[in-house]
Amino acid sequence: MEQVLLEINHIQKAYGTHVVIDDFSLAVNKGEVVVIIGPSGCGKSTLLRCINALEDIQGGEILLNGEEVLKEAKNISKMRQKIGMVFQSYDLFPHKTILENIVLAPIKVQKRTRPEAEKEAVELLTKVGLADRKDAYPRQLSGGQKQRAAIVRALIMHPKILLLDEITAALDPEMVREVLEVVLSLAKAGSTMLIVTHEMAFAKAIADRVLFFEHGKIVEESSHPKEFFTHPVTERARAFLKTFDYETEQNS
């Protein structure tokens, strides 16, 4: 039987009267990779930010392993450690070396020892091909390298689930691949991930399940990504996917 890791029940998110997420529910199984796509400003990023309580919600509940994620709760630090997040703009600490960036939270938040944290940091950096850049500062790295380092920074906390928020959106096309390969290898290793992306080919390759999201609601959901990307059911999803398809545009 599959084990539900993340459970989102009827959440509501609004800024004043502007509703961003409207009665949204989702269950993510352990080891599952769920990809959320949809037009800009549809609330995808907000959804991820709600999941680790960077944003508060106005209704509903978010459960991780049955435990509620609540912004004002006492255990929120513990909960956030279980929910790794990687941002579009990397958000590495500019005055800290890559190694310092990565070991800060394990040492300060999880109270692990420096040698142990550094050892694991180097192991993880080796996996993403950045071991030789551990003493560099973020500004000395390319966008792709920075994003790989940011992924390592999230991984070292041993999160139960990883939230990836448009992590390739700020990258040059050439660097997109090196980052996505890291994510693919994580998926193969069994990581549970919730991914917001505009890279359709990547979504197709990695997703166990695809959600097409618009105006704070799921418009279409598919457990057969290949199917979804070739034959979407809803008219809206078809129109959205068509904007990425330059070939048909030329031939029509």
Partner 1 sequence: MWDETMIVMLLEGIRDTFYMTFVSTFFGYVIGLPMGIALTLTDKGGITPNRTVYRILDIVINVTRSVPFLILLILVMPLTKLIVGKSYGSTATIVPLTLAAAPLIGRMVESSLKEVSQGVIEAAISMGAKTSTIVFKVLIGEARTSLLVGVTIVLGTVLGYSAMAGVVGGGGLGDIAIRYGYYRYETGVMLVTLIFIVAIVQLMQVVGTFAAKKLDHRNQE
Across the strands, what pairs with 108?
A: none
- The whole-angstrom separation of Cα 204 and Cα 111 is 39
Select from 3, 23, 68, 94 the one that contacts partner 1 (CB under 8 A).
94
Residue 154 near partner 1 by CB under 8 A: yes
Residue 139 near partner 1 by CB under 8 A: yes
- The whole-angstrom separation of Cα 12 and Cα 173 is 35
Residue 158: CB minimum distance to partner 1, A = 11
Q: Measured over all CA atoms, what is the biggest interatomic distance in the chain, rounded to whole angstroms? A: 61
- The whole-angstrom separation of Cα 229 and Cα 214 is 16
- With CB under 8 A as the contact rule, which of the stretches 78-86, 177-185, 209-217, 242-250 interacts with partner 1? 78-86
Element (H, E) at 37: strand 33-37
Residue 79 near partner 1 by CB under 8 A: yes
In the 8-state DSSP scheme, what is residue 19? E
Residue 34 near partner 1 by CB under 8 A: no
- With CB under 8 A as the contact rule, which of the stretches 18-26, 100-108, 190-198, 219-227 interacts with partner 1? 100-108
| CA quadruple 29, 91, 175, 197: dihedral sign | positive
Residue 83 near partner 1 by CB under 8 A: yes
Residue 81 near partner 1 by CB under 8 A: yes
Residue 89 near partner 1 by CB under 8 A: yes
Give yes or no for a contact between 75 and 68, defined as CB atoms under 8 angstroms apart. no
Residue 69 near partner 1 by CB under 8 A: no
How many other C-beta atoms lie within 10 A of the C-beta of residue 78?
12
Binding-site ranges for partner 1 (CB under 8 A)? 52, 54, 76-81, 83-85, 87, 89, 91-96, 104-105, 108-110, 137, 139, 150, 153-154, 157
